[in-house]
Structure 1
Amino acid sequence: GTVCPEYPANSLGGLCSQGTCYISQCKPNFGDCNKVTADGCEVNLRSDGSNCGACGNACSAGQKCTLGQCV
Protein backbone atom coordinates (compact mmCIF):
# COMPACT_ATOMS: atom_id res chain seq x y z
CA GLY A 1 0.00 0.00 0.00
CA THR A 2 0.84 3.66 0.02
CA VAL A 3 3.19 4.90 2.74
CA CYS A 4 2.75 8.59 3.46
CA PRO A 5 5.35 10.74 5.24
CA GLU A 6 4.24 11.35 8.83
CA TYR A 7 5.45 14.94 8.86
CA PRO A 8 6.19 16.38 5.40
CA ALA A 9 8.58 19.39 5.45
CA ASN A 10 7.22 22.48 7.25
CA SER A 11 3.91 20.78 8.02
CA LEU A 12 2.05 19.92 11.19
CA GLY A 13 1.34 16.42 9.91
CA GLY A 14 0.29 14.27 7.00
CA LEU A 15 -2.56 11.87 6.46
CA CYS A 16 -3.62 9.17 4.04
CA SER A 17 -7.08 8.76 2.55
CA GLN A 18 -7.98 6.03 0.07
CA GLY A 19 -4.32 5.49 -0.86
CA THR A 20 -3.53 9.19 -1.42
CA CYS A 21 -1.23 11.26 0.80
CA TYR A 22 -2.28 14.71 1.98
CA ILE A 23 -0.79 17.41 4.19
CA SER A 24 -3.14 18.01 7.11
CA GLN A 25 -1.89 21.54 7.83
CA CYS A 26 1.17 23.67 7.10
CA LYS A 27 3.20 25.38 9.79
CA PRO A 28 2.42 29.10 10.12
CA ASN A 29 3.75 31.18 7.21
CA PHE A 30 4.30 28.15 4.94
CA GLY A 31 2.13 26.88 2.10
CA ASP A 32 1.78 23.73 0.00
CA CYS A 33 1.35 25.77 -3.16
CA ASN A 34 2.25 23.01 -5.63
CA LYS A 35 0.08 20.36 -3.90
CA VAL A 36 2.94 17.83 -3.95
CA THR A 37 2.97 16.01 -0.61
CA ALA A 38 6.53 14.73 -1.09
CA ASP A 39 8.07 18.21 -0.74
CA GLY A 40 5.75 19.29 2.05
CA CYS A 41 4.84 22.93 2.59
CA GLU A 42 7.55 24.14 0.24
CA VAL A 43 6.81 27.87 0.10
CA ASN A 44 7.66 30.51 2.68
CA LEU A 45 4.64 32.81 2.33
CA ARG A 46 6.50 35.65 4.08
CA SER A 47 9.19 35.98 1.39
CA ASP A 48 8.13 34.25 -1.86
CA GLY A 49 7.31 36.86 -4.52
CA SER A 50 5.08 34.41 -6.41
CA ASN A 51 3.15 33.35 -3.30
CA CYS A 52 3.24 36.38 -1.01
CA GLY A 53 0.98 35.93 2.01
CA ALA A 54 -1.01 33.21 0.20
CA CYS A 55 -0.47 30.65 -2.55
CA GLY A 56 -0.81 32.26 -5.98
CA ASN A 57 -0.60 35.85 -4.71
CA ALA A 58 2.20 37.22 -6.92
CA CYS A 59 3.80 40.59 -6.29
CA SER A 60 3.81 43.08 -9.15
CA ALA A 61 6.98 43.79 -11.12
CA GLY A 62 9.41 45.80 -9.02
CA GLN A 63 7.87 44.67 -5.73
CA LYS A 64 9.25 42.12 -3.31
CA CYS A 65 7.55 40.03 -0.67
CA THR A 66 8.40 41.16 2.85
CA LEU A 67 6.68 39.62 5.86
CA GLY A 68 3.88 38.35 3.59
CA GLN A 69 3.20 41.74 2.00
CA CYS A 70 4.15 42.98 -1.48
CA VAL A 71 6.17 46.19 -1.08
Structure 2
Amino acid sequence: MLYIFQDETTSTVAPARLYKALTIDGDTIIPKVIPGFRTVEIVEGNGGPGTIKKLTFEEGQHIYVTYALHIYNL
Protein backbone atom coordinates (compact mmCIF):
# COMPACT_ATOMS: atom_id res chain seq x y z
CA MET A 1 0.00 0.00 0.00
CA LEU A 2 1.42 3.37 -0.97
CA TYR A 3 0.30 6.72 0.36
CA ILE A 4 1.66 9.97 -1.02
CA PHE A 5 1.25 13.17 0.94
CA GLN A 6 2.08 16.52 -0.60
CA ASP A 7 1.75 19.91 1.00
CA GLU A 8 2.97 23.34 0.03
CA THR A 9 3.38 26.14 2.51
CA THR A 10 5.54 29.16 3.25
CA SER A 11 7.79 29.57 6.25
CA THR A 12 10.05 32.19 7.75
CA VAL A 13 12.48 29.41 8.70
CA ALA A 14 15.44 28.93 6.35
CA PRO A 15 14.94 25.93 4.00
CA ALA A 16 18.05 24.06 5.21
CA ARG A 17 17.03 24.45 8.86
CA LEU A 18 13.44 23.37 8.18
CA TYR A 19 14.58 20.32 6.16
CA LYS A 20 16.91 19.27 9.00
CA ALA A 21 14.13 19.67 11.58
CA LEU A 22 11.63 17.64 9.56
CA THR A 23 13.92 14.85 8.39
CA ILE A 24 17.06 14.46 10.47
CA ASP A 25 15.68 15.67 13.83
CA GLY A 26 12.09 14.62 13.17
CA ASP A 27 12.36 11.47 15.28
CA THR A 28 12.90 13.54 18.42
CA ILE A 29 10.75 16.53 17.46
CA ILE A 30 7.57 14.71 16.33
CA PRO A 31 6.72 13.14 19.74
CA LYS A 32 7.23 16.53 21.41
CA VAL A 33 5.07 18.67 19.11
CA ILE A 34 2.36 16.32 17.81
CA PRO A 35 -0.08 15.07 20.45
CA GLY A 36 -0.63 11.32 20.47
CA PHE A 37 2.85 10.22 19.39
CA ARG A 38 4.99 8.52 22.02
CA THR A 39 8.09 7.38 20.09
CA VAL A 40 9.65 7.21 16.64
CA GLU A 41 12.30 4.50 16.28
CA ILE A 42 14.36 3.06 13.43
CA VAL A 43 13.54 -0.61 12.87
CA GLU A 44 15.92 -1.15 9.95
CA GLY A 45 18.43 1.05 8.16
CA ASN A 46 20.44 4.15 8.98
CA GLY A 47 17.94 6.95 8.35
CA GLY A 48 18.55 7.16 4.61
CA PRO A 49 16.51 5.77 1.72
CA GLY A 50 14.99 2.37 2.50
CA THR A 51 14.97 2.99 6.25
CA ILE A 52 11.99 1.50 8.07
CA LYS A 53 10.67 3.43 11.08
CA LYS A 54 8.07 2.58 13.72
CA LEU A 55 5.79 5.29 15.13
CA THR A 56 4.18 4.36 18.44
CA PHE A 57 1.16 6.25 19.72
CA GLU A 58 0.22 7.12 23.31
CA GLU A 59 -0.76 4.49 25.87
CA GLY A 60 -4.25 3.09 25.52
CA GLN A 61 -4.37 3.40 21.74
CA HIS A 62 -2.55 0.09 21.05
CA ILE A 63 -1.62 1.35 17.60
CA TYR A 64 1.67 1.68 15.81
CA VAL A 65 2.68 2.45 12.23
CA THR A 66 5.75 1.34 10.31
CA TYR A 67 6.89 3.08 7.17
CA ALA A 68 9.82 3.05 4.77
CA LEU A 69 11.58 6.15 3.49
CA HIS A 70 11.91 6.35 -0.28
CA ILE A 71 13.45 9.21 -2.26
CA TYR A 72 11.99 10.10 -5.65
CA ASN A 73 13.15 12.73 -8.12
CA LEU A 74 9.85 13.94 -9.54
- TM-score, length basis structure 2: 0.28
Q: Which has the higher contact order (CA 8 A, sep 6+)?
A: 1
Please state which structure has a larger fraction of its residues in helix: 2
- TM-score, length basis structure 1: 0.29
